[in-house]
Structure 1
């Protein structure tokens, strides 16, 4: 192993890793199985990947090619050298628009490929639900399908040629092979001639069994594609190797057939009494139409969506019924697609205006409905009733005309084993059924039942002439069961093909052929013994267990997408598995040390886990964008609290983590502090000592804080209980750095008829302590704040937050830190955003000030994740702001993250992936709105030439009448204190006397004494 590692590092142009962190991040996929790899190679080029295979062959090491790692059958986890093609080998090599073909490298993601093909109005047809993260190489390995297979077939049906590499070094292009080409190959001799001769002999020997033993259904994915070697199928070697899950060859390039992008689409949804009745109607529908998609969801899936608050808008658009079929028709115009849908309705005797029929040709509405169906795996993976569900029988397929009866028998089998809560949905137009089953994979009895169920289910699908897998492949989950579907002779033929291509058995061993048992190598299993630790967060949605929270990740990999939403900014910047939400979840799972071969053995003190979490921006994007609600920001804070317990922390934890203290201290003499920190050299030294990035220009302290302005204003004190009174939350950022935000909010709230009050004693949400994992201090700060707000909480007074991250603390973090505290629960319900208050609680006759402008809007990540943005959108609409709400992800600053030393480059990379270019492209008269202090700071410092405003500031400008059309930053004193200074480094350059004052101030904040 040591020699092989050295050879790989010396000879492979790429990243070669055998460390615990990398091995842990690749230890499992989307399946029930776990096998830590020997090492990981990320080749910079396809040739480098081929060299990695050659080195492994020299040293006899098994090889596993991996793409997106979303496989559900265990085929992308193995004790082998993993070659991850997705980070670097993702080029679209060439496109031939006339021939409608392209050549790609294996690591290119399907959505990225189709974006590059869009100018040619072409796309690759098959579209799995993981289209945002699955790679073409992985799709070839799994013979992926997706909803569009109804129209375009499986991946194998869209392959022209493959460039392959065998373990013993043969590299060549393969495809359909006519007799003349076959003879040329034989005349040339060598390993290729031997391979082709063996393939033809194999097909000839088993010709009858292949023709008779393969089910004639549209969704047969199980087994090797020996049928592609038949003479009537053109002896197509590339298609024979597709779906072999990396057990036969390594794919280096692929030539793909492409299809035109449809100009228009219409979705027709039909309601039924139950899922079996819906399945019964599929053959009748297919007699009268040829839809591009025919999908199904059942009442259980809809129920889970409602309980989880997911895809509610799509659910509202479903017609009457308890289960639904969704048919999509495409064509050259909406008139054509609408006509197809209406023709079907007439043919089956349904009316368009019937309550159980819904018709839509609105593209956005259609995509929302189809995304709801795509979300099936995530929605059903962690039901709110806390019953864990798992893959194992998630994609069986039968003839569509027998689907209804199959579902009835399958439901009976579920009932026999106590699995009645399983949801049924899928690609019903091709007889493919998706489900996740509540297998008991933590106990010996549960695992035994799991094994017995799979054997019974395999026999059932064989009785119906179906396939064990209709989409996700065999891997380990179904490899053992193949003999029940194909019989001994065909499974023996699979073994012959394996030996012919991979005589040493080193390509992804133990999968498909000579497989491990279905109950081996389980991620959990009866021998899983995770450590139990006391935690600060209580994880109320995970039975108060950190380990159960970590298990939320089921490997879907949606954190590896490149566009849309917020999750996961660090992965988008690095394309590194270890820096995805999934990769970090894997390492935290390994840290639980539940297996004898756990890759992380030093628990909370693990440097591997610390390094993986270091580049987590704690943006909370995963809390909302992850289909199963992984909240990596919370897990990171928990880890940091234990990792640094009793130890010296990084300097930034003291300088940035204790920011509220330093800001309050600087309030005594802001001009002096700002002037001191403008002195030559002082700022650089201060930032270095404080652990702050030297590249950062830090915000200055306002000369008059919001609280100083408020007190000077002389607003009469208000008592709790007045129904028109609201309590304005004086967060650190709006108080000490951007006080105009809070002043503007006061003006607008008073214009709306509210009586504004401000806490008389210092309060803090503890955000900066939470984000740096100083959770004991955070809880003390929160308890002090609760004491101060006690009368307002008891009176039910709304508390208005201006800084989204502070609001999110009270809506999410505080209830998880202190779930038993009734005041925390009450406050979480009373704490509102500025927009929520004005939209939902302002007097009905109040109208927002008219802004009458276009606005480019950056949503703060914590707001996206916790509070959502609906109220803001509505308020801007009422105010006449024509808002373009960006869907460009995180700004990259993310609180303290972008200010910490070592994070600046990544922070700017994230910003440049969407937000900053969008701001630069905005017109000069367009408002740039960002309620988050971090977002405004990143926009200002990101070379955009613009300053962003809080929505409260934009509305306050509207109170003054129409604004001039120049840049918004010229509209009055939006930022009265813009002189450059590096104030946050004050603690790092303070003398002993100042340090004493700082300590006193800190004690006051934490313990509630003094100001």
Structure 2
């Protein structure tokens, strides 16, 4: 076996429009090739539940090798992958350009794409992934929707669990009656005297910020306006991460083409693009170009897109900040989201919060375990808590005033893990704060802007 490569991992475009991509025998052969290499390496044993499932499957087989494992046992391994990309980006020594050409998460995606092509999504999985429709409908009756989805509602949550498979204990995001896109029509006044004046940016709202937490977008607008950046808000539609998780690649490609077309006039006019949630930034910057490598509009959008913390740090290091933040009392436990780390841009959220004087940061680089829509399902929720226990443990031991994550769903999930640890061992683990924050919200607070 060759030694692991030392070069940066390189993603290979997904040949999803070729019938061979969906061929069951070809997929099984590739699964066996990759699983055998993973079995001989095992560096990823503690990243997520896919690898323990794989290694247990092999270790408990007749020969203790892959040759005695039936392919029927592979599906639980595939199902446990949350497409976090951490094995590919940070651990695997055999990613391209190494000759072994391993891309574990995209192989899991290929398997799911073949399943989707053969069977489609289940009805309730399909309903849960329709984030734009769900956000619009829930926003029309936000108080009722939030009451019905509240953890502890003994009337509605058992029904949601039985019908849709959403675990009754899983914390779900709240809805707002007024979306961020509609609120942003009258944003804050731009400081035309700031050093960064002249910059222009489109905020890609993302479905979560648009329907569930407009405060993230408003904090971003306030920071950028104070520093001279003119902003507009665009939200053509969801980036398709929920559909990607289910292997619906044609749906994702369609979204990529439509959003790229909607953003083209802004790019022509010199605007930068800012994605407010890391999963969506990852889609625009990396996953869409891998699905449509020959589409110039998608490629151009990818090159122009920045993560929100990345953009603020660029201003701070370039033109400089017009509004200087003041210390935040109590400290911050900052979780670095997997999809932010997978963008290969460094710890931009940490860099941004370190611009705050006397920063008291606890950096947490462990998976929260949530995995998007994966972690709220009844069959996955307990596993999601198990995978995220180390992240919750790190935050619970610190007892900082604030818990923050670039991924809002990860932040919510960590609070649930912290609450469980505190209930089991209150002497060693602090009770969680009432809410988690996006780091941009804390930065805006330190600047006195919200």
1:954 Cα deviation after fit: 0.6
What is the aligned counterpart of 1:918 among 352, 370, 394?
394
Q: 1:870 to 1:941 in 2, by over 3 A?
A: closer
What is the aligned counterpart of 1:735 among 194, 205, 210?
210
Q: Check conservation: 1:616, 1:633, Cα contact below 8 A.
A: yes
Alignment correspondent of 1:992: none
What is the aligned counterpart of 1:772 among 230, 246, 254?
246
Alignment correspondent of 1:885: 363
Return the alpha-carbon distance in structure 2 between the equivalents of residues 792 and 578 of structure 1. Answer: 51
Q: 1:710 to 1:689 in 2, by over 3 A?
A: same
Q: 1:607 to 1:685 in 2, by over 3 A?
A: farther
1:728 Cα deviation after fit: 0.8
What is the aligned counterpart of 1:864 among 341, 351, 357?
341
List runs of 5+ in structure 1 lacking aligned partners. 1-30, 32-71, 73-376, 387-531, 537-544, 563-567, 584-589, 591-596, 601-605, 717-721, 962-971, 973-1011
Alignment correspondent of 1:830: 304
State the Cα deviation string for residues 769-827 of structure 1 (Å, max 9, x = none).
11111112111122221121121233452111121111111122111111111111111
State the Cα deviation string for residues 70-89 of structure 1 (Å, max 9, x = none).
xx8xxxxxxxxxxxxxxxxx
Alignment correspondent of 2:99: none
Correspondence 1:316-465 to 2 at 5 A: 377-379=3-5
State the Cα deviation string for residues 276-317 of structure 1 (Å, max 9, x = none).
xxxxxxxxxxxxxxxxxxxxxxxxxxxxxxxxxxxxxxxxxx
For the pair 1:569 / 2:41, whether they are aligned, the reply is no
Alignment correspondent of 1:936: 411
List runs of 5+ in structure 2 lacking aligned partners. 13-17, 61-65, 96-101, 191-196, 420-430
Q: Indicate the SS of the match to 2:404.
A: strand
Q: Check conservation: 1:859, 1:869, Cα contact below 8 A.
A: no
1:576 Cα deviation after fit: 5.0
Q: Indicate the SS of the match to 1:820.
A: coil
1:877 Cα deviation after fit: 2.1
Q: 1:826 to 1:558 in 2, by over 3 A?
A: farther
Q: Indicate the SS of the match to 1:379.
A: coil
If asked which structure has higher relative contact order (CA below 8 Å, sep 6+), I would say: 2
* Normalised TM-score (structure 2): 0.78
Return the alpha-carbon distance in structure 2 between the equivalents of residues 579 and 931 of structure 1. Answer: 34
1:546 Cα deviation after fit: 11
Q: Check conservation: 1:677, 1:683, Cα contact below 8 A.
A: yes
Q: Check conservation: 1:859, 1:930, Cα contact below 8 A.
A: yes
Q: Check conservation: 1:707, 1:730, Cα contact below 8 A.
A: yes
1:901 Cα deviation after fit: 2.1
Return the alpha-carbon distance in structure 2 between the equivalents of residues 691 and 702 of structure 1. Answer: 24
For the pair 1:948 / 2:433, whether they are aligned, the reply is no
Q: Indicate the SS of the match to 2:354.
A: helix
Greater strand share, 1 or 2?
1
1:533 Cα deviation after fit: 4.4
Return the alpha-carbon distance in structure 1 between the equivalents of residues 438 and 295 of structure 2. Answer: 32
Return the alpha-carbon distance in structure 2 between the equivalents of residues 816 and 681 of structure 1. Answer: 44
Q: Indicate the SS of the match to 2:237.
A: coil
Q: Which one has a bigger Cα radius of gyration?
A: 1
1:872 Cα deviation after fit: 2.9
For the pair 1:755 / 2:230, whether they are aligned, the reply is yes
Q: Indicate the SS of the match to 1:623.
A: helix
Return the alpha-carbon distance in structure 2 between the equivalents of residues 952 and 870 of structure 1. Answer: 14
Alignment correspondent of 2:128: 656
Return the alpha-carbon distance in structure 2 between the equivalents of residues 677 and 836 of structure 1. Answer: 33
State the Cα deviation string for residues 7-50 of structure 1 (Å, max 9, x = none).
xxxxxxxxxxxxxxxxxxxxxxxx4xxxxxxxxxxxxxxxxxxx
Return the alpha-carbon distance in structure 2 between the equivalents of residues 916 and 828 of structure 1. Answer: 33
Alignment correspondent of 1:614: 79
Q: Indicate the SS of the match to 1:929.
A: strand
Q: 1:673 to 1:694 in 2, by over 3 A?
A: closer
1:579 Cα deviation after fit: 7.8
1:383 Cα deviation after fit: 9.3
Return the alpha-carbon distance in structure 1 between the equivalents of residues 412 and 181 of structure 2. Answer: 22
Q: Indicate the SS of the match to 2:367.
A: coil
Q: Check conservation: 1:637, 1:773, Cα contact below 8 A.
A: yes
Q: Indicate the SS of the match to 2:287.
A: helix
Return the alpha-carbon distance in structure 1 between the equivalents of residues 326 and 260 of structure 2. Answer: 37
Q: Check conservation: 1:535, 1:638, Cα contact below 8 A.
A: yes
Return the alpha-carbon distance in structure 1 between the equivalents of residues 405 and 32 of structure 2. Answer: 32
Q: Check conservation: 1:892, 1:907, Cα contact below 8 A.
A: yes
1:852 Cα deviation after fit: 4.5
| Superposed CA RMSD | 3.5
Correspondence 1:199-210 to 2 at 5 A: none
Q: 1:742 to 1:816 in 2, by over 3 A?
A: same
Alignment correspondent of 1:786: 260
Q: How many residues align?
A: 401
Return the alpha-carbon distance in structure 1 between the equivalents of residues 378 and 9 of structure 2. Answer: 40
Correspondence 1:484-523 to 2 at 5 A: none
